[in-house]
Structure 1
Amino acid sequence: MRHDPYGTGVLSKDIPTELRRLQLLENALDPLSIAAVEKLPLGSAPRILDMASGAGSMSYWLADRYPGGSVVSADIDPRYLDAERAPNLTVRTFDIREEDFPEGSFDLIHARSVLKHLPEREDVLARLVDWLAPGGWLAVVDGYWFPSDDTAHPEWGGVLRAIVEQMNSQGGDMRWTRRLPGLVARLGLTEVDVRLTPSLAGWEGWGEQFHRWIRPTIRQTGPTLVEKGYVTAEEVERFLASEDGPHMAEWFGVVASVVGRRP
């Protein structure tokens, strides 16, 4: 099995704070995933794949939502997943870059915050489509980070630029998601739907969950960002100490929810 660039280093599950960081990210993104999925005509017994399922919140929601169906919760490192959480839930250790499911295996595939981290992202996307049964649905939720040089808050710009550089150095592309709707359509999916949600920092109301997630992410990754010379320790501290409130609100990106159906 090849080296896992996402699961090591700054986002490794060996880091004690990573579970909590993932849970905060789930709190921010679950409403978007649920909104994308719950309207789909899946019937009472869909076969579902939750790919790169992290700490498991969407796998558990899907298992509860469709008790007559089956949910495969797949992750390259499933240590946070509870295989006993539901009788229709199967937890599987799975490297999406190396392993396959048979064509037509699933009626719904949900993939969140994974493709932008993989150098093979477009090949993986094509394989996700192959795993869909005719009439099956693909729901991809992933973020796009805005360039940081136009921020209104100098104490943020260098740090946000640094986290993008770190992720890109691991084979990611934090701005790839803008291509996702067109790629999905070119792979033959129909009924393509796209929803964009702002990732808003510095605000305790609208976007509060994103606000709560970004600081722990910077706190966890900060030492590596400093060590690599992407940012100074002082810049990290200024970011973490910056005050909150509507006067500080700023989008640092958007999250795209893209859904399409295999004919």
Structure 2
Amino acid sequence: MTSTTNPERYGDRLFRHSNEGEDKRLGALTRAFHAASTARLTALGVQPGWRCLDVGAGTGVISRWLAGTTAPGQVIALDRDTGLLDTAGLTNITVLQADVVNDTPDLAGFDLVHARFLLMHLREREALLAKLATWLRPGGWLLVSDAADLATPTSTSPALRTTISSLWKMLNDSIGMEINYSRVYPRPLLNAGLTNVDIGVDLPVVRAGSPLAEFLTEHLVGVRSQLLETGLHPDILDDALTYLNAADTIDLTFGMISAWGQRPAEASP
């Protein structure tokens, strides 16, 4: 049982980067949403010379894209666990291992602060979002992206509906993850004093062999024992896994809601 005084967090036990298959799980998630994320970043005007911070950098795919796009600008790839962070061959990326909730890294003056699938996993999400906004230079952009389960409740597969519902509840109960946190966007960015605030939604299709089907498969297999402890019947879980990988499956599950805003420019004296 998780202690109420020291509750489990993402990466303590579940989804630790050293867990077997975690690189494959995160890699599939990255492929599912990489094009959407880079399109959002491109629309914000990311350009050579920018100084960028990628918070919760994971495997470093977005950090590497930013490094290539902003060179000779500098990118800081920050994560609590940098075990999967790959920055090989790029001299304009600095890796920073830090816990953005409990540590106080000296960060400021960024043209861009980016965080994808981070805030939804943290109980301190609202306070952290406000902190991220303070790390921007005047005129700098914050882009945050988190999941929202916009479609699984209406899936034609009863097994998938039941299994995914059990998954979200288990993760909320165990590590405090909120699958639909992003539905509050863009209000927290407005509360942080940002301007030019907007939101966008990306909802990839699930079909056999798709990155999202691979991610969900790895996700469910990795937490199988925890799901069964909640009372989910193993046959229902197995039916859901079969459905995700069936040749005729075409469905929708969770998507990504992104929100962005700009720190106001300082007033002239």
Picking from 174, 180, 183, the partner of 1:178 is 183
Match of 1:192 in 2: 197
**For structure 1, which segment, 105-114 or 230-239, has the greater mean C-alpha deviation from structure 2 after superposition?**
230-239
TM-score by length of 1: 0.90
Deviations 1:127-180 (A, max 9, x none): 000111100001111111248554321111221012101221211111111002
Check conservation: 2:60, 2:87, Cα contact below 8 A: no
Match of 2:49 in 1: 45
Q: 1:73 to 1:161 in 2, by over 3 A?
A: same
Number of residue pairs matched?
A: 257
**For structure 1, which segment, 100-109 or 29-38, has the greater mean C-alpha deviation from structure 2 after superposition?**
100-109
Helix, strand or coil for the counterpart of 1:201?
strand
Deviations 1:32-64 (A, max 9, x none): 110111122345211110110111111111111
Match of 1:111 in 2: 115
Check conservation: 1:28, 1:210, Cα contact below 8 A: yes
Instruction: Write the distance in 2 (CA, Å) between the matches of 1:126 and 1:23.
Output: 28
Superposition map of 1:84-103 within 5 A: 84-102=88-106
Instruction: Write the distance in 1 (CA, Å) between the matches of 2:111 and 2:104.
Output: 16
Helix, strand or coil for the counterpart of 1:9?
coil
Q: CA deviation at 1:77?
A: 0.4
Instruction: Write the distance in 2 (CA, Å) between the matches of 1:209 and 1:147.
Output: 17
Deviations 1:51-92 (A, max 9, x none): 101111111111111111111101110011134431111111
Helix, strand or coil for the counterpart of 1:60?
helix
Within the alignment, does 1:72 sit opposite 2:42 as a pair?
Answer: no
RMSD, aligned CA: 2.1
Helix, strand or coil for the counterpart of 2:143?
strand
Match of 2:255 in 1: 254
Instruction: Write the distance in 2 (CA, Å) between the matches of 1:136 and 1:193.
Output: 15
Instruction: Write the distance in 2 (CA, Å) between the matches of 1:14 and 1:43.
Output: 34
Q: What 5-or-longer segments of structure 1 have no aligned partner?
A: none
Picking from 226, 234, 242, the partner of 1:224 is 226
Q: What 5-or-longer segments of structure 2 have no aligned partner?
A: 1-5, 265-269
Match of 1:238 in 2: 239
* AA partner of residue 259 (structure 1): W
Helix, strand or coil for the counterpart of 1:38?
helix
Q: CA deviation at 1:12?
A: 1.8
Percent identical across equivalent pairs? 27
Instruction: Write the distance in 1 (CA, Å) between the matches of 2:15 and 2:134.
Output: 29
TM-score by length of 2: 0.88
Superposition map of 1:24-63 within 5 A: 24-63=28-67
